[in-house]
Structures are given as C-alpha cells and as structure tokens.
Amino acid sequence: PRGLASRGCVNAPSPLLGCSFARGHGTACRRRAALSCRVIGAPRGAGESAVGGPGARRPWQEHFVDFPETLTLKMVSSQPKYDLIREVGRGSYGVVYEAVIRKTSARVAVKKIRCHAPENVELALREFWALSSIKSQHPNVIHLEECILQKDGMVQKMSHGSNSSLYLQLVETSLKGEIAFDPRSAYYLWFVMDFCDGGDMNEYLLSRKPNRKTNTSFMLQLSSALAFLHKNQIIHRDLKPDNILISQSRLDTSDLEPTLKVADFGLSKVCSASGQNPEEPVSVNKCFLSTACGTDFYMAPEVWEGHYTAKADIFALGIIIWAMLERITFIDTETKKELLGSYVKQGTEIVPVGEALLENPKMELLIPVKKKSMNGRMKQLIKEMLAANPQDRPDAFELELRLVQIAFKDNSWET
C-alpha cells in the first residue's frame, strides 16, 4: 500500500473534526483495483462461441436506442420506453440520468456505461451480476428494473447467464481483460433503477444540522441493507457516503426520515456456493477475496493486504457511522468536496484508519472524539466494527441486532 513503508511509528491517533484537512480520495486506487479484479461468477463456457448457427435464438429483440441526440430510449415497433430528462451524476465509468417511464410516468434513474474498455465492462458486469442475483427487494438497496445492452443502433434486454453472443462477448472481454468484440461498434450498457431524488449521504447530511433521529434511522437502514446483502452472498466492497443515495419521495407530509439506498455495485462480489457442497451457499464471512479494491478512507486493513471477507464491509460501515455521529469530514483534494469519513492524524497528515491499523494493529482509536457524542454501547460497537482483526468485528446480522437494541432498548445512542 501507498506510502506505508516510508512512514514511521504511528503517533497517538487524533481524529480531527471539521474540514480543515484535505487529501486525495483514492479514486485512482479504485480504478487500478477494477482493472485487476478477477471476474468470478461468469457463466461457464464464457468465451466459447455459444450462439449462432441454424436454430440459434435470435439475440436481438425489436428495440433500438436513439441517443443522445433525442435523449430518448426507443423501441422500434412502439413508442419510446423511457424519456431521459437530465443528467444527475457522472462517475468515472458512466453517466446517470433522471428518466421517466412513458407508460406509467414513473421516475427512474438510468445509468449508461460505455463498454469501450475492459475495465468499464468489468464494472458494469459486476453491478449487473450483483443486482440481478437479488431475488427479492430490500427498501434500502437500489433496485434494478432492467439492464439493456446496446450495440450501435440495436438493443436487447440483458439477462443473467444469457447465451446471446453479445453478452458472451462482454463476459469474455471482462475475463480476458481485452476487448473481445469489433472495436468499431459502439457498445453501451444501460441500467434502469430506482431514482433517488435526495442526493447522496454526504450532500444530505452535510447540508443539514446534525439530527439524532436521522442518525439513528440511517444506522438502522444501513445495517439492515448490509445484513440483506450479506444474506444474499453479496460483498459490496465500496461502501461510502457517495454510494449511499437518498430517496425523499415518500416524505411529503409525514415526518418520516428519508429512505437510504445502497447503490453502486461496480466493485461488488457475489460469493458462489462452497466448493465442498455446491448446494450450500457459502457464508460471506468465509469467502476470501484478494483484490485490494475500494476507496482508501473506508478500506479495512486486511483489504490493503489483499486477503479479506465480508467483514471489510463492516469496517467501511464503522467508518461511515463514526463519521456521521461525530460529523467528521475531510476535503477530497480532487473534487474539493467535503466528505464524511473518519481518519487518524499523523503529524500534519490525515491517514485512512485501515491504512494506519495495518501499520500498527494495536493502535487505540479515539472514539468518540467529542466527549458526549455517543453512549458506551455505541462507542463499544464502533470500536468493534473497526477492530484491526476482522474476526473481532461483528457480522452484519449481529450488527443489525445490536443497533436495533441500542436504538430501541436504550432509547438513545447518546450519553
């Protein structure tokens, strides 16, 4: 990991409040990581030519896409299905639009990823495999309505394990790390999902005064989402406030807290069945991964080392919850945005907690930073979530239970 060898002993850590410190946010790390991710969960035989010849299923449905000129996603034989209204987000791999389903007028978000580089294809497929593997819906996990694959002027709905030649070309591209289709064609993947109208967790929380009720609600929603994902064998690997979106639509008159949606599954991993018994789903806490990926401030120490399980998500959530309760932020040097995230201070530098723990696993974290910002149970729970040894961290199910107990039995996480 970057810079570790050059740093001396870790001083007594002192996480800082406020936003006077700035540091790069690790997007390059994420990009590098995505490049080196090994694609697992691809259908067997990917890369072999599986479609074609007499009797093969015709891969193209009667759709085509006419975009961006008209901002409209069209079907040939009927009216356009979606109208794209405006751009709402732009990541390193694609553009996200607010859109409307013509038939129902329902609002959706449409994420468009251009598949011109293996790295993009891999990210898109990871997101597709994770979201399409979820059989039921969870209120706090973004729901994938459909995924559409576009080649030049033609489109088809993408389905998991499809034998369409186009889908298999994408899988092959991702596995080999090189484009396995005609580079003269333009390939796009379109993800249609729930639209979140309240921005991300950074924007939502940092534009409001700290509120105990909101914090409690957010902790419960996040732990519930994580328990759901882990039960469904999904390790997210990039939990951070930018990837937690807010839906305010049901807020109209009630005083309910907004709904959080965990989004951006571009780095996620679906753990397959255990080797000994293929019928038995493997516990995500026993599924070992080796690609060091994520965003540095939220990465667990063992992720930096490249040997980790779903407990890495627990660590990331620990960083997020600690930062939320104490309003610990830093400025991302690239985007100049203020972001929620706890860290340790070494001299004049701020260092990700996971990176500091890797250097010194015995380091005592100063939780809470402000004396009265949380009660003993909450403090103990965050300390356990951020334990250097992943085995000392609660799993997602225990975490959910303990947070419910703290929220409802104690009536308050405050002192």
- The binding site for ligand ADP (CB under 6 A) comprises 88-89, 91-94, 96, 109, 111, 142, 193-196, 200, 242-243, 245, 263-264, 266
What is the C-alpha separation between 413 and 415, in angstroms, rounded? Answer: 7
270 contacts: CB under 8 Å, gap ≥ 6: 40, 41, 129, 130, 133, 233, 234
68 contacts: CB under 8 Å, gap ≥ 6: none
Q: Count residues binding Mg ion (CB under 5 A).
A: 2
Instruction: Using the minimum distance from each CB to Mg ion, give the nearer residue, 43 or 198.
Output: 198
Give the helix ranges, DSSP H, for 60-210. 118-133, 165-176, 201-206
Q: How far is the CB of 372 from ligand ADP (least distance, A)?
A: 33
Instruction: Using the minimum distance from each CB to ligand ADP, give the nearer residue, 119 or 395.
Output: 119
What is the C-alpha separation between 370 and 381, in angstroms, rounded? Answer: 16
Give the helix ranges, DSSP H, for 181-300. 201-206, 212-231
End-to-end CA distance of the chain: 38
What is the C-alpha separation between 172 and 174, in angstroms, rounded? Answer: 5
The answer to whether 189 and 95 are in contact (CB under 8 A) is no
Q: How far is the CB of 110 from ligand ADP (least distance, A)?
A: 9
Active centre residues (catalytic):
238
54 contacts: CB under 8 Å, gap ≥ 6: none
What is the C-alpha separation between 94 and 112, in angstroms, rounded? Answer: 5
Q: Is 112 annotated as a binding residue?
A: yes
Residue 390 site contact among Mg ion, ligand ADP, none (CB < 5 to 8 Å, cut-off depends on kind): none
Q: Residue 192: in which H helix or E strand, if any?
A: strand 187-194
Q: How far is the CB of 30 from Mg ion (least distance, A)?
A: 9
Q: How far is the CB of 227 from Mg ion (least distance, A)?
A: 22
Q: Which amino acid is at 414?
A: E
Kindly state whether residue 332 participates in binding Mg ion, applying the rule CB under 5 A. no
Residue 333 site contact among Mg ion, ligand ADP, none (CB < 5 to 8 Å, cut-off depends on kind): none
- Each residue 204-243 as x (binds Mg ion by CB under 5 A) or -, in order, gives ---------------------------------------x
Q: How far is the CB of 247 from ligand ADP (least distance, A)?
A: 8
Instruction: Using the minimum distance from each CB to Mg ion, give the nearer residue, 110 or 378.
Output: 110
Residue 245 site contact among Mg ion, ligand ADP, none (CB < 5 to 8 Å, cut-off depends on kind): ligand ADP
CB-based closest residue to Mg ion: 264
Residue 89 site contact among ligand ADP, Mg ion, none (CB < 5 to 8 Å, cut-off depends on kind): ligand ADP
Instruction: Using the minimum distance from each CB to Mg ion, give the nearer residue, 127 or 264.
Output: 264
The answer to whether 93 and 123 are in contact (CB under 8 A) is yes
What is the C-alpha separation between 176 and 165, in angstroms, rounded? Answer: 16
CB-based closest residue to ligand ADP: 91
- Each residue 246-285 as x (binds Mg ion by CB under 5 A) or -, in order, gives ------------------x---------------------
Q: How far is the CB of 355 from ligand ADP (least distance, A)?
A: 22
The DSSP secondary-structure symbol of 242 reads G
Residue 194 site contact among ligand ADP, Mg ion, none (CB < 5 to 8 Å, cut-off depends on kind): ligand ADP
Instruction: Using the minimum distance from each CB to ligand ADP, give the nearer residue, 194 or 395.
Output: 194
192 contacts: CB under 8 Å, gap ≥ 6: 82, 99, 108, 109, 110, 144, 145, 146, 147, 148
Select from 159, 178, 156 the least CA-distant residue to 47.
178
Instruction: Using the minimum distance from each CB to ligand ADP, give the nearer residue, 143 or 377.
Output: 143
Annotated binding site for ATP: 112
Annotated binding site: 112
Positions that interact with Mg ion (CB under 5 A): 243, 264
